[in-house]
Amino acid sequence: MAINFDEFSLRRQRLIKVMGEGVAIIPTSPELIRNRDSHYPYRFDSYFYYLSAFKEPESVLFIIAGAHPKTVLFCRDKDMEREIWDGFRYGPAGAVAEFGFDEAYSIAKLDEIAPKLLANQEKLFYSFGAETGWDLRVNSWLNHLRSQARTGTSVPDEVVDVRKHLDEMRLYKSAYEIEIMRHSSAIAAGAHQRAMKFVKPGLMEYEVEAEFLHEFYRCGAQSPAYASIVAGGRNACTLHYNLNNAKLCDGDLLLIDAGCELDGYASDITRTFPISGKFSSAQKDLYEMVLASQAAAIAKVLPDEHWNAPHEAALDVLIRGFIDFGLCKGSPEEVLESGSYRQFYMHRTGHWLGLDVHDAGEYKDKQGNWRIFKKDMALTVEPGCYVVPSDKVPKHFWNIGIRIEDDVVVTESGCEVITKGAPKTVFEIEELMQDA
């Protein structure tokens, strides 16, 4: 999708309004060296990107609010020699022309100009503690200003965490963002379909991971959104398993938690399906239970419902299932109260989703109450069930790990599941795998 520069400019204007006065400093991520002169693949900082659309490293955005608001970008200079090696750079003039900043300067001039932008401002909007290199630099500018106190220059005496304001803005997705997220989700859903058709006993987990990477890049995604989890059999009970180097065995389930990043936006899908193409009856029992808990949770994602309602709905279905299948003992109330269900379901049912896979935004308000869902918030719904071998557990359930995860956006009356292209009913999965 073409970048909507007007929207990025509007976000900067909104931040100026929220700030009221003062200066905000939002740097992008540093490049990280992998070894010697090789770098890790570069990923811009999400807050910086959210306000700038600018993807080059060595950049920082200053936003000045008050009577004379302006936006100032510092970025790499045009450099014909470096561009031959590393590729195109906009340079300050290009950044102003293409991205709509009021001013832009060479990053080489940052230490000279930044103190002037900070001088005589009352408030500094900056997130101390996020990146040590930038903290030191911002402190050096502040100290420089302090050393000039006798000339009448004042130093900002109030520091506000700019991320607090940006978290709140990022929580509500625009139509443009939702469109990108739908696309990101569709690519990931297609990759899950591809995996279902591809899987058979004897393959290695990494061969399945390769199918995901192939599909992500083939469809235009820039990278996976996080390290893919491709976990056969018992490995599915390790929640963040990503060795992905075991052989897939006939009779086991395969849990895949994989999503891509498209134009900065993450998709995050988990599907669990039988390696043979056919669920055993024990697998089916637990699978249908998790699927029903997910449906109950999704039904609770709607405006004015609170953040924890989907989790509570999922837990209710899971706990009743655990009791029915002999995994937990007692009444549903007792199992909930004692927390004995945590042996089989130890994580929460979702997280905010957006530029980051675990996206910005608070889950509780200042009073400690759960956040209330509002239209255009995006999140995942991902209940699961994990059974490691134990004398106290029926043997036919051993080594079954199941998670079903979809991405949803709150609408006016409920939510839109944007990952529905990935099959998840027993019938859909078995049919797709049999046809393959």
Pick between residue 123 and residue 300 the one whose CB is nearest to Mg ion: 300
Residue 59 contacts Mg ion per CB under 5 A: no
Question: To the nearest whole angstrom, how small is the minimum distance from the Cβ of residue 325 to Mg ion?
Answer: 25
Sequence-distant (6+) residues with CB within 8 A of 170 are 46, 47, 50, 354, 355, 359, 360, 361
Residue placing its CB nearer to Mg ion in the complex, 380 or 419: 380
- Cβ atoms 73, 61 nearer than 8 A: yes
* Of residues 261 and 268, the one with the C-beta less far from Mg ion: 268
At residue 158, what are phi and psi to the nearest 5 degrees?
A: -130, 125
The nearer residue to Mg ion, 56 or 257, going by C-beta atoms, is 257
Residue 119 near residue 153, CB atoms below 8 Å: yes
Closer Cβ to Mg ion, 353 or 433, answer by number: 353
Number of other CB atoms surrounding residue 201 within 10 Å: 14
Residue 19 or 266 having the CB closest to Mg ion = 266
What angle is formed at CA 285 by the lines to CA 282 and CA 290, rounded to 5 degrees?
A: 130
3-state secondary structure 171-208: HCCCHHHHHHHHHHHHHHHHHHHHHHHHCCCCCEHHHH
Binding mask 400-419 for Mg ion (x = CB under 5 A): -----x--------------
Please say which residue, 115 or 401, places its beta carbon nearer to Mg ion: 401
Query: How many residues interact with Mg ion (rule CB under 5 A)?
Result: 4
Q: Are 304 and 413 in contact, with CB atoms under 8 Å apart?
A: no
Q: Are strands 384-387 and 400-403 parallel, antiparallel or unpaired?
A: antiparallel
Segment lying near Mg ion (by CB under 5 A), choices 45-53, 142-150, 176-184, 264-272: 264-272
Q: Is 380 in the site for Mg ion (CB under 5 A)?
A: yes
Distance CA 300, CA 322 (A): 21
CB 379, min distance to Mg ion, A: 9
Binding piece for Mg ion, criterion CB under 5 A, among 71-79, 268-276, 323-331, 388-396: 268-276
Backbone angles phi and psi of 64, in degrees to 5 = -110, 125
Please enumerate in sequence order all residues whose Cβ is within 8 A of that of 253, keeping only pairs 6 or more positions apart, or say none: 232, 233, 236, 272, 273, 274, 275, 279, 283, 287, 400, 401, 402
Quick one: angle between helices 5-19 and 162-171, nearest 10?
130
Q: Which residues contact 242 (CB under 8 A, 6 or more apart)?
A: 227, 228, 229, 230
Strands 253-258, 229-232: pairing kind? antiparallel
Q: Is 268 in the site for Mg ion (CB under 5 A)?
A: yes
- How far is it, in rounded angstroms, from Cα 103 to Cα 96? 6
Residues annotated as catalytic are 37, 240, 257, 268, 347, 351, 358, 382, 386, 403, 405
Strands in 223-224's sheet, in edge-to-edge order, are 223-224, 260-262, 265-266
* Site residues, Mg ion (CB under 5 A): 257, 268, 380, 405
